[in-house]
A and B are shown apart, each in its own frame.
Chain A
């Protein structure tokens, strides 16, 4: 019962924040240099098409009416027509969203689990060679510049060693032919390895370091002495008592570093030509495809907010001290 009200209040909060962002974007559009109409309707269209779209978007109406139509359109899924593709933006985004979520979620989850696991070991062996190696490696990972690292991986593993494809999500030959469903999935995974590895390694660094320091402070707590006094083995103490408590701040940090992860995700998508929203946004911005850019941006904002919500709920579920 309590948890439901919590989730509900959080959903309302997200809605409000998103609303604020949408409004901010609306006004930014109007404030930016250039004719606002040319930002929504492709100036290359024929005058009749332009007039149709202008009417549909309500661009000839007063500001506040435009705003209402803008909101209505958004919730109806009408994001306008992409200048570049000449198709409804909604259609384009729909195809892209799934790929981004796939890459983003899998890399975050894998990095979190690996970070917790390795950080636990590093803290347990504090001061040893193993710990130094792990900590330094994690530090290096944390400060890597993503595009550079991605390019390096691409160069070494993709180009020099030829182990992985250089981009995209699938090899067209396989898909045009009659390959089985299993082979197709394998192909996607094959293409996913390098971008996944990039994001995984970058995120792993920060989670490992955080888990390590969290674990070190947990190990100083009194309930660890109690556990020892009960005669528990070191392994049980480490995993059941220490790690469970130490992992909690890491969950929180996953939420906090979502912004950083999304930035990284966009860059990774760009380099590996992974057809996700991040890449689409970059593309749209480079080509002045305003409707597409705007929609990609709003969608990314929404993904960030929802992801934060999921992390918050997860944390509340894991920590019995949180009550609402």
Chain B
């Protein structure tokens, strides 16, 4: 019974969402990149020379422009740029989504506990959130990189998540605070439910939509930070990310001669970030009726 209610609500929200020009654009761009990411699994199998890291076209020794065999051209050691772009899409999604997911998990738990518990614990957690939020993530990643050496992609994901949960927790906390006042919470307390149970059975389902809304914004910042890190040369060397492609074009001195190499990765980063942002804004309008324009139901 409850399930159909949720499904109906979801479908209604979807209708509003897809009418929204922001949402439409975002979804379209996202789909394109998603297809690219999926294609990255297949492409190296078509021909080994299309492997983004190791595939070298035996006929090519220098960076060449777009051609029939290489849609975007090759880099300076003869690797196919389009294959690299596809792989970069895969990495961007993995980093963006998992990092956002972790930061949502941490942020939601902290926000709920903080809002529900109140008092000293709340003050302490929020202070910590404030401090972490203020710190520049890239700088911290750099100093950690200097101390602990080259990072594996999952470590990067995790560290970004740790730096980014505060923003989520603030929103979840205020939502929890207002939920706390509601009679059904009090009823549960009187009925003898433990605090943990109340938090996870009652509060969590009500704050989750908000959490997922903010997930989209976390994705954008995660993608940008990872790209910056790779660009500076501290990314995971076993993955080809867009940031890394930019690093190669820069380090190899080709940035002025090879627009076909310079433009696609950066453009992709910006477009994907834009798509997630539009998604978030459209979801915002769906969840908050006041933001909807006239003419939409």
Contact = CB atoms under 8 A, between A and B. Distances in A.
Contact of A151 (B144, B243, B262, B278): B262
Given A143-B274, A262-B139, A293-B146, A267 B228 contact: yes
Contacts of A151: 246, 250, 255, 262, 266
A301 interface: yes
Interface residues of A, number: 50
Contact of B256 (A159, A259, A270, A305): A159
Given A139-B277, A147-B246, A148-B265, A290 B135 contact: no
Contacts of B233: 286
A259 B137 contact: yes
Nearest to A265: B136
Contacts, number: 125
A288 B146 CA distance: 6
A145 B266 contact: yes
Contacts of B255: 151, 154-155
Contacts of A25: 143
A32 B228 contact: no
B262 A155 contact: yes
Nearest to A149: B266
Interface in B242-287: 243, 246, 250, 255-256, 259, 262-263, 265-267, 269-270, 273-274, 277-278
A284 B273 CA distance: 30
A148 B270 contact: yes
A284 B146 contact: yes
Contacts of B265: 148
B101 interface: no
Q: From B143, B225, B255, name the one whose CB has the most chain A CB atoms within 10 angstroms.
A: B143
Is chain A's interface secondary structure helix, strand, loop, or mixed overall?
A: helix
Interface in A276-324: 278, 281-282, 284-286, 288, 290, 293-294, 297, 300-301, 304-305, 308
Contact of B131 (A17, A32, A152): A17
Contacts of A140: 270, 274
Contacts of B133: 256, 259
Contacts of A263: 136-139, 225, 228
A144 B255 CA distance: 18
Contact of B143 (A146, A270, A294, A305): A294
Given A155-B256, A263-B139, A304-B134, A148 B277 contact: no
Nearest to A166: B256
Interface of B: 131, 133-140, 142-149, 220-221, 224-225, 227-228, 231-234, 243, 246, 250, 255-256, 259, 262-263, 265-267, 269-270, 273-274, 277-278
